[in-house]
Structure 1
Amino acid sequence: MEVAGRIGDTFAARVRALEETTLSQHAVRSYETRGRDRPEEPCRVRTPFQRDRDRLVHSKPFRRLKGKTQVFIDPQGDHYRTRMTHTLETTAISRVVARALRLNEDLVEAIGLGHDTGHTPFGHAGEDALDEVLRERFGSRFRHNEQSFRIAKQLNLTYEVCDGILTHTGDLEPETLEGRIVRIVDRIAYVNHDIDDALRYGLLTEADLPADEIALLGATGSDRIDTLVHDLVETSEADGGIAQGAEVGEAMLSLRSFMFERVYLGPQVGPEHERARRVVRAIFDRLVEEPERLPPGDGGLATRITDYLAGMTDRFALAYAERL
């Protein structure tokens, strides 16, 4: 306790001094956060962003990511990505970029770990289904980044982490460079690992991949990520913001469009998307009719149903629907 006390007495001062000598002038300083909605006593051996990271890792929404689809619904096999592995890949790549640019790695890590905590079961098919039924029944909408933001607020995370989580997708741009890293890296991660999974699943072959883009970015997922990360770091350093080079950025967007056409919205996944839609609608309709099935929660009926349904894993949702 005595040693811990001595460390606690000097920890914040040491972090402040270290960041002044090692971080870019554009980086968010750990002790210059805009704070939390509900004031808390600071931790004596963790920065506010480290505390946010730990709070996310120990949360139920984060743990449930291991049972949520990335692309393929409840696939048979241990090597397909889940929402959890996507989150870990995004976070790891984001930290590499942040370190190279001398930005705040702890802030990037917290945003990365929290960015998809609000995602539905069944990936974007589940997100679309929940959005559709909310519009029909309540005139509201569902966006997974907004649900992730709601979870971040419930966890009382710092302003900068909440902002990065909310703006990792959608029309709003992150206020921090750290948030902008996660926004771009999220796409880098999912496009490349989803190509690997589609090849493994037999939905694509190597010959199907766009030749020019693959020649530029690399033949394997790791090669493409290396190319994209180096380009992102070098372009951002020269630009003063967070940006991809024109040629590499265009190739990345082209690959993303290819994946939407052939995989995310392709004809082969139609039955899976319809399956997800049926399950989400069946659960939603039953909860509207029998709200006593819902656990206690905050907000009106639409919010409580959204919180409950969005928090389900794929297998729990499938089993729940079978019992209806």
Structure 2
Amino acid sequence: MNLREQYEQLEEKILSPLATLSKNTKGRIKKEEKCKVRTDFQRDRDRIIHSKAFRRLKHKTQVFIAPEGDHYRTRLTHTLEVAQIARTIARAIRLNEDLTEAIALGHDLGHTPFGHTGEDALNKISSTGFKHNEHSLRVVDYLEKEKGLNLTHEVRDGILCHSGELIPQTNEGKVVKLADKIAYINHDIDDAVRAGILTVEDLPKECIKVLGKGHSERINKMITAVIEHALKYGEIKLTGEVGEATWELRQFMFDNVYIASEAKKEEDKAKNLIKELFIHYMDNPNSMPKEYYDKIDIYGLERTVLDYVAGMTDRYAIHEFTKIFIPMPWQIKF
């Protein structure tokens, strides 16, 4: 018996009936020989961490576009916070931590430059529409390493269903979906206070009374509520008094930070930048890198342009826009 098989047996002994066992995975799109050391979900986690799309998250917007300061969240730090919260919940109710972590680390791989602002711009300008969760799945299925990462069904499902009305098939996926919201509600408050957009006193008093005034206190209240509900009822939900306060606080953030705040005034510029890049590459496809231009025959022009623009980091998108549209002083060569 190899190490993977030993670990699969251990999962059977220690995990809850609510958990997804590695040995029971529905498999991969393309069959491949199993690893002798790692379970399938551990292998998926490693593939995501070593992907280029994962590394690019460090230069993609979370909420505030190109903030001046080292302590504001990026899409990468958001992803890591989601993974930490999700693993805490998964461990407490004895779900599969490896599956939970893999989904969490991969859930935002398809995010555009400038976060939801870029997503909205591509969604409006493309004939097919654009959703970051669907593109995250496309990244792991087709774009990474030219042929995709060939992840398991359970990880792919969790990535696709982490946002919107879709419901993940596994409890691990449901945990990540909740952890995503817990993470961004709290760390976006933290960033908004740091930026001077909010003060703690601005937060809804009834929510703070239930959840707590401090950042870690609020996160702990939400995580504990999810764990207690799961242990009592066998389902992954954030309900009751803590749930009501959480969703009210989330709405407050939409009304006062995500949609209407001083820090969002650059969004129209970002949307225009994304739209102009999209139009340019549609009209001049040969100006894309060869690795993308060569895929036009496979995926079609519009899909390839979407893949290229969506994969950009904030700073690379700004660099390309500057190179294409901003006139540079002519220099005399001596």
Query: What is the TM-score when the length of structure 2 is the normalising length?
Result: 0.91
CA distances 1:50-81 after superposition (whole Å, capped 9, x unpaired): 00000000000000000000001111111000
Letter matched to residue 307 of structure 1:
D
Deviation track 1:102-123 (CA, whole Å, cap 9, x = no partner) reads: 1000000000000000000101
Alpha-carbon shift at residue 16 of structure 1 (Å) = 2.4
Q: Which runs of 5+ in 1 are unaligned?
A: 1-8
Which residue is equivalent to 1:209? 203
**1:149 has 2:141 as partner:** no
What letter matches 1:313 in structure 2?
A: T
The one-letter code of the counterpart of 1:170 is G
Q: Distance in 2 between matches of 1:175 and 1:205?
A: 39
1:66 match: 58
1:269 shift after superposition = 4.0
- Cα displacement (A) at 1:284: 0.5
Q: Which residue of 2 aligns with 1:4?
A: none
Deviations 1:38-57 (A, max 9, x none): 11111110000000000000
2:266 counterpart (262, 272, 279): 272
Kindly provide the CA deviation profile for residues 267-315 of structure 1, in whole angstroms up to 9, marking residues without a partner as x.
4244211011111011111001101122233411121111111111111
Number of aligned residue pairs: give it. Answer: 312
CA distance in 2, matches of 1:278, 1:26: 46
1:314 aligned partner:
314
CA RMSD between the two structures: 1.1
Displacement of 1:89 in angstroms is 0.3
How far is the alpha carbon of 1:183 from its aligned partner?
Answer: 0.4
Which residue identity is paired with 2:87?
A: R
CA distance in structure 2 between the aligned counterparts of 1:109 and 1:155, rounded to whole angstroms: 16
Q: Matched residues in 2 for 1:284 and 1:206: separation?
A: 40
Separation (CA, whole Å) in 2 of partners of 1:114 and 1:50: 13
Which 5+ residue runs of structure 2 have no aligned equivalent?
142-147, 325-334
The percentage of counterpart residues that share the same residue type is 51
**Equivalent residue for 1:119?**
111
Distance in structure 1 (CA, Å) of the matches to 2:264 and 2:227: 38
Distance 2:138 2:184 in 1: 23
Q: Select 1:34's aligned residue among 3, 13, 26.
A: 26
1:3 counterpart residue number: none
- Are 1:21 and 2:9 counterparts? no
Q: Deviations 1:172-199 (Å, cap 9, x if unpaired)? A: 1000000000001100000100000000
The verdict on how the C-alpha distance between 1:216 and 1:174 changes in structure 2, with shifts beyond 3 A counting, is: same
- Residue 125 of structure 1: how far off its partner (Å): 0.8
Structure 1 residue runs of 4 or more that deviate by more than 4 Å after TM superposition: none
TM-score w.r.t. structure 1 length? 0.94
Q: Do the aligned residues in 1 keep the contact of 2:197 with 2:261 (CA within 8 Å)?
A: no
Kindly state the Cα deviation for residue 255 of structure 1 after the two structures are TM-superposed. Answer: 0.7
Q: Counterpart in 1 of 2:323?
A: 323
The SS at the match of 2:175 is helix
